[in-house]
Chains A and B, each alone.
Chain A
Amino acid sequence: MPKLIKGVGCPYCGSSCDDIEVLVSDDETKILEVHNACIIGTNLFHHANDPTRPKLPRMRQPDGSMKEVTYPEAIDWMAKTMLKAKKPLIYGFGSTNCEGMSAVARIAEKAGAVLDNCATICHGPSFLAIFDNGYPSCTLGEAKNRADVVVFWGCNPMHAHPRHTSRYSIFPRGYFTQKGQMQRTVLCIDPRETDTAKLADHHLMIDQGHDYELFDAFRTVLRGFDIPETVAGIPREKIKEAAEIMKKAKFCMIFFGMGCTHTDGRNHNIDAAISLTRDLNEHTKCSIMAMRGHYNIAGPGQVWSWQFGFPYCIDLTKGSHAHMNPGETSSVDLAMRDEVDCFVNVGTDAGAHFPIQAVQHLKKHPFIAIDPNFCMASEIADLHIPVRIAGVDEPGVVYRMDNVPIQFRAVIKGLPGVPSDEELFDMVYERMCELTNTQPVWLAAKADRKYPESPAVI
């Protein structure tokens, strides 16, 4: 009898939907059906059935080919390579659980590495703005229950977060928003006519790269001053109308995405958005939220802030303190400036996402990819170590885009012999301790949950 597992979390986008139902085969090794998820989520689960999934690490040979090696060999090579490097860079963590993130931090400390996550190429600037200006945010539940004006600025959830609009932002009926979409006014600020823009009541088609000016225009209007005839390609009247809609809202919710964080000004765009949110609170209630990309990309920010005091770009080379300064300690900058001599890619694909020059620089040195599947990073790596898929065959804690922690479960049994991220990192940490003649102090603390016997505990 196939089993239907309810209340499953989807390990794909930042919406982190936790209402998925998955039908699995009798022996809990195959996923048969996926209910409730969007097409991306559905495919992600089915992908785990792929019979070609790697089951053993592969090491690059002198002739350029890849050869399968055992886990102990791979772990030994990784431990030695990282200890030898003057400044290794560990990057990724868009798609893994918090347990893995916490475990890798111990390796980073031991190796004197720089620890960075995908925020560095996505919502890192949001962190910088939050450092500078605070974060008047809320949970998605509040947005669903209260927001009657929703602003999508530089983001396109219809494609990037497919169920965001139906679960949290536009369509759902909440406590104070019983009429759902009928009760919500949607504003979209985007240089393109995206599918989200088509859905919006008002689309402000901004000139690309002029978000900062438009935020300033809104703030100036809200303080009762006049603004030039057009700002960022939008006529004054339209800006005043939109400002009035936000001001008259019962609860205004601003969602922003990569269109703000990765155009000129970056953190300053978010900084201005936060200032606008604060200004709007003089008139009504207003809140702001980053549209985090992956289901647990808020995780490293939480875990590492707790461990080191910083969410990303953490330089641990001194061994005595953490240093963080994006622009210097951020992955792409480190790569472009040839500041690192070993690269570890975990649960993301730097091969596909980094500028090609950055990848070329990184490729001069040992390149390790840790990923359940084949990806561009694994194909150019010197060592590829497969792990279980968090949220599919490995449970764990994830942080949704509103920083709400959710316990994700495993739905199928892991591939035999393939460890989870956490187990792999613990083993590498242990090997590093052996090589350096030090005590694996962090493992003692969690001895009881090391290497569980049945990997897929549901």
Chain B
Amino acid sequence: MATVTLKPIKTPELIFEGYSITPDNFAGKTAAQIADLPGHEGKILMRLGDFFEISGNAGETAADTNIVITGDCSRVKYIGARMTAGTVTVNGNADMYVGGWMKGGKVHIKGNMDSFCGIQMEGGELICDGDAKNHVGCAYRGDWRGMKGGTIRIRGSAGNDIGTFMLGGTIIIEKDAFIHVSTHAEGGTVIIKGDVEGRVGGQMVKGDMYVLGKIKFMMPGYQKVDTVEKEVDGVTYKLDHYIGDLGERHGKSKGQIVYANLYVPAAA
């Protein structure tokens, strides 16, 4: 395993599109070659070396490459986007599209992330120690095939639009979320350990949601069917089981209509 270290040396005047910052792009390159990799600031084609001091050579393949960014990347987009293997660690904040379209490997953001993190994700692991803004694990605009696999874990809170059009994979938000969880989803699991304002599972066809805090406004299309004991992220809870969205179309499996499931803590 080889580690490439990026030390931020300059804050971009606008925003730097660091789409080259992935183990896949770094693989097989020396520090000097990595510094020459492209990125955009507006319409200007820049180099990674314009914004980062780069040390260490990359491994042979993406899987042997670890990238560590030692400072704040609040104005750097696309970190770890489209990566397939290896790791990226940011010791600070990151801007939009962290781990977007990623297929494998691991991204760890120690600060906060902006919007569109993990959009269209297909595999791998995205961990954020802080908060995320909107559209976590969401589909790209107009695409009805959203997140397909992998795991996103946000240790803080998230905004709206979590797992829109989700087909698979897991999203865990350890604190609160705002509105629109698993809207239009046809699979996947979303776990929210804090409170949610509302719109949980609207237009949802299939998939599971767990909200361990309170839902302020429940969707009218959900009905309670039973109370179950379930393990959620390693802990067992007694949960009320709702099905829905009864207003939406649903498929059948073995002659039974398959609904989306929502689990909330059982009423005492």
Q: A7-65: which have CB < 8 Å to B?
A: none
C-alpha gap A328/B141 in the complex (Å): 12
Query: Given A86-B41, A272-B202 in contact, is the A228-B220 Cβ separation under 8 Å?
Result: yes
From the candidates A112, A222, A275, A327, name the one contacting B43 in the complex (CB within 8 A): A112
Q: A288-317: which have CB < 8 Å to B?
A: 317
- Counting CB contacts under 8 A, is A339 at the interface? yes
- Counting CB contacts under 8 A, is A68 at the interface? no
Contact mask for chain B residues 207-225; partner A; CB cutoff 8 A; 1 contact, 0 none: 0000000000111110100
Closest to B219 in A: A216
Bin the interface of chain B by size: 35 or more
User: B14 contacts A219, CB within 8 Å?
Assistant: no
User: B96 contacts A86, CB within 8 Å?
Assistant: no
Q: B225-268: which have CB < 8 Å to A?
A: 245-248
- Counting CB contacts under 8 A, is A380 at the interface? no
User: A327 contacts B134, CB within 8 Å?
Assistant: yes
User: A132 contacts B144, CB within 8 Å?
Assistant: yes
Extra 9 A-B pairs, beta carbons < 8 Å, given A112-B42, A216-B202, A216-B203: A86-B42, A128-B142, A132-B144, A217-B247, A218-B247, A220-B246, A265-B180, A327-B134, A340-B42
C-alpha gap A210/B199 in the complex (Å): 9
Query: Given A265-B179, A328-B116 in contact, is the A225-B221 Cβ separation under 8 Å?
Result: yes
Q: A254-280: which have CB < 8 Å to B?
A: 264-265, 268, 271-272, 275, 279
Measured CB to CB, the closest approach of chain A to B198, in angstroms, equals 7
From the candidates A87, A227, A318, name the one contacting B220 in the complex (CB within 8 A): A227
Q: A86-134: which have CB < 8 Å to B?
A: 86-87, 111-112, 128, 131-132
User: A213 contacts B198, CB within 8 Å?
Assistant: yes
C-alpha gap A217/B222 in the complex (Å): 10
- Counting CB contacts under 8 A, is B68 at the interface? no
Contact mask for chain B residues 135-152; partner A; CB cutoff 8 A; 1 contact, 0 none: 100001110100000000
C-alpha gap A227/B44 in the complex (Å): 55
From the candidates A128, A216, A327, A328, name the one contacting B221 in the complex (CB within 8 A): A216
Query: Given A212-B199, A216-B219 in contact, is the A87-B42 Cβ separation under 8 Å?
Result: yes
Q: Which residues of B contact A338 (CB under 8 A)?
A: 14
From the candidates B141, B199, B223, name the one contacting A268 in the complex (CB within 8 A): B199
User: B184 contacts A327, CB within 8 Å?
Assistant: no
Measured CB to CB, the closest approach of chain B to A442, in angstroms, equals 19
User: B141 contacts A337, CB within 8 Å?
Assistant: no
- Counting CB contacts under 8 A, is B115 at the interface? yes
- Counting CB contacts under 8 A, is A235 at the interface? no
User: A131 contacts B221, CB within 8 Å?
Assistant: no
- Counting CB contacts under 8 A, is A85 at the interface? yes
C-alpha gap A404/B220 in the complex (Å): 37
Q: Which residues of B contact A317 (CB under 8 A)?
A: 40, 42-43
- Residues of B at the A interface (CB closer than 8 Å) are 13-15, 40-44, 96, 115-116, 134-135, 140-142, 144, 160, 165, 179-180, 183-184, 198-199, 202-203, 217-221, 223, 245-248
Q: Which residues of A contact B245 (CB under 8 A)?
A: 216, 220
Query: Given A268-B183, A341-B13 in contact, is the A87-B142 Cβ separation under 8 Å?
Result: no
- Counting CB contacts under 8 A, is A326 at the interface? yes
Q: Which residues of A contact B14 (CB under 8 A)?
A: 86-87, 338-341
From the candidates B142, B199, B220, name the one contacting A231 in the complex (CB within 8 A): B220
User: A339 contacts B15, CB within 8 Å?
Assistant: yes
From the candidates A87, A220, A228, name the one contacting B247 in the complex (CB within 8 A): A220
User: A132 contacts B142, CB within 8 Å?
Assistant: yes
Chain A CB count within 10 A is highest, among B41, B42, B134, B140, for B42
Measured CB to CB, the closest approach of chain A to B103, in angstroms, equals 20
Q: A329-388: which have CB < 8 Å to B?
A: 337-341
User: A219 contacts B248, CB within 8 Å?
Assistant: yes
Measured CB to CB, the closest approach of chain A to B80, in angstroms, equals 17
Q: Which residues of A contact B160 (CB under 8 A)?
A: 264-265
Q: Which residues of A contact B247 (CB under 8 A)?
A: 216-220, 222-223, 225, 275, 279
Query: Given A268-B199, A341-B13, A341-B42 in contact, is the A324-B141 Cβ separation under 8 Å?
Result: yes
Q: Which residues of A contact B203 (CB under 8 A)?
A: 216, 271-272, 275
User: A217 contacts B15, CB within 8 Å?
Assistant: no
Query: Given A86-B42, A213-B219, A317-B40 in contact, is the A275-B198 Cβ separation under 8 Å?
Result: no
From the candidates B43, B116, B219, name the one contacting A87 in the complex (CB within 8 A): B43
Shortest beta-carbon contacts, A-B, top 6: A219-B247, A87-B42, A112-B43, A86-B42, A131-B142, A220-B247
Closest to B139 in A: A132
From the candidates B43, B179, B180, name the one contacting A319 in the complex (CB within 8 A): B43
Measured CB to CB, the closest approach of chain B to A432, in angstroms, equals 13
- Counting CB contacts under 8 A, is A325 at the interface? yes
Q: Which residues of B contact A216 (CB under 8 A)?
A: 202-203, 219-221, 245, 247
Chain A CB count within 10 A is highest, among B40, B142, B180, B223, for B142
C-alpha gap A225/B184 in the complex (Å): 19
Query: Given A86-B14, A216-B247, A225-B223 in contact, is the A128-B179 Cβ separation under 8 Å?
Result: no
Q: Which residues of B contact A337 (CB under 8 A)?
A: 15
Q: Which residues of B contact A217 (CB under 8 A)?
A: 220-221, 247
Q: A186-224: which have CB < 8 Å to B?
A: 210, 212-213, 216-220, 222-223
Measured CB to CB, the closest approach of chain A to B96, in angstroms, equals 6
Closest to A236 in B: B220
Closest to B247 in A: A219
